[in-house]
Amino acid sequence: MSSTPLPAGLLDRAALAVGPGTAPAVAGELAALTGRPVLGYDAEGRITGAEGGAPDAPLVLVGATLPPALRGDPRVRWFHSVNAGVDALLDGGWPAGVLLTRTVGRMGERIGQYALAWVLADCQGVPGHLARTAARAWRREPSELAAGQTALVYGTGHIGTAVASALRAAGLHTVGVGRAEHAPDGPFDERITAGEDGPWLGRARFVVDALPLTDATRDFFADARLSALRGATFLNVGRGATVSLPALGRALAAGHVRGAVLDVLTDEPPAPGHPVWELPRTTLTSHSAGITAGTDITADFRACWEALRAGRAPELAVRVGRGY
């Protein structure tokens, strides 16, 4: 994929189609923005509602998936994903010459609040209070201040930055773990690379996984890292496959990980007999930390549309070689 703008005039001739499950309100806003009818495409890649349209018009698609029939269609020139994570779209390769953009919207703000909520709940002993209430047992639960605790935030992009901002506002010392070329600014007290995290693992009270899924991050949190923790609470708001569940189970059993909050899994939803249900001191939150709203989709598509109309590369263009 190239993030260079589309050829001049292409958007003037393009037809716009939305994928299965797209809310009518979103389609209506896209029609108002682009000044043209919004078509549809189904799971088999058939364009619907195109009667009377130009059969060879370039296609701009908005959706969650790109069916195989459309992956090989030379008319497809731009695909805007309604999700922030694009690893499923990139699995098996991305069509050459097709611009890929993604939706971020206010997801970072939502996930930042989610992470902060669970950090504060952990510090205030909320899980213990809930268990005591269910058991009708009266006992004080220990608590601790969040301020001054160290949080390692893996992933220093849009999501990780928002998480660090929320945690830092509560007084946590935030250490961003990301690529070396990322600028040392934003709401991180310190910035390190993944190869430099060793000394921090034993000092972290919280570890937040906000990594995208790439070849380099698959099973990133395995025995080596998880066994180096010393009672940290682990939160995954990135991608499920960045964590080895067997390794997490061993770290929980050994006490290296105090507790885990998993918003994402490799297999969603997990079957009733899936091992993840047996992990001790672990809470699953059903991929709900950063639910995408229709307004997120339309706002980010608008930003990309306006950038392309002005001859600029959209900020939300995916760098396919990196996977995000």
Best CA proximity match to 20, nearest among 1, 48, 53? 48
Whether 99 and 2 have beta carbons less than 8 Å apart is answered as yes
What distance in Å separates the CA atoms of residue 108 and residue 244, rounded to the nearest whole number?
24
Best CA proximity match to 11, nearest among 80, 82, 102, 83? 80
Best CA proximity match to 89, nearest among 73, 108, 105, 102? 102
Quickly list DSSP for 10-76: HHHH-EEEE-TT--HHHHHHHHHHHTS-EEEE-TT--EES-TTS-TT--EEEEES---HHHHT-TTE
Does the annotation mark 75 as catalytic?
A: no
Does the annotation mark 268 as catalytic?
A: yes
Q: Which of 268, 306, 312, 315 is catalytic?
A: 268
Q: Which of 36, 203, 287, 302 is catalytic?
A: 287
Does the annotation mark 203 as catalytic?
A: no
What distance in Å separates the CA atoms of residue 48 and residue 50, rounded to the nearest whole number?
5
What residue type is 323 in one-letter code? G
Residues taking part in catalysis: 239, 268, 287
